[in-house]
């Protein structure tokens, strides 16, 4: 990164939900016994122009990103349970 002029001068922040395909802790286990003890639930609301609100539930993680907006390269990232938005 040291070779890129003005790297880190223009930053952007973003977050993304990453679904876990394992069974939530305490739920009926799958045959292969996959479970994810660190993931958790969150909900996302989408508000439409008509006033209708769509609520979507997710189970998994959230990645938080700080990137250089000029070069589109990551600077920092952190992965947390999905509810830690």
Task: Give domain status of residue 55, yes or no.
Answer: yes
| Structural tokens at position 21 | 């395909």
Task: Give domain status of residue 72, yes or no.
Answer: yes
Task: Give domain status of residue 42, yes or no.
Answer: yes
Task: Give domain status of residue 22, yes or no.
Answer: yes
Query: Which range marks the domain in which residue 47 is found?
Result: 11-81
Model-level pTM?
0.75
Region 22-29: mean pLDDT is 70
How many domains, the chain? 1
Q: What does the pLDDT look like over 30-74, one tens digit per residue?
A: 666 667 888 999 999 999 999 999 999 999 999 999 999 999 999
């Amino acid at each position: 990164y040291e070779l890129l002029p003005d790297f880190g001068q223009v930053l952007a922040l973003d977050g993304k939900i990453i679904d876990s395909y394992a069974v939530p802790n305490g739920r009926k286990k799958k045959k292969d016994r996959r479970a994810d003890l660190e993931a958790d639930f969150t909900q996302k609301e989408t508000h439409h122009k008509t006033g209708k609100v769509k609520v979507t539930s997710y189970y998994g993680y959230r990645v938080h990103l700080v990137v250089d907006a000029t070069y589109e390269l990551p600077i920092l990232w952190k992965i947390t349970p999905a509810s830690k938005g």
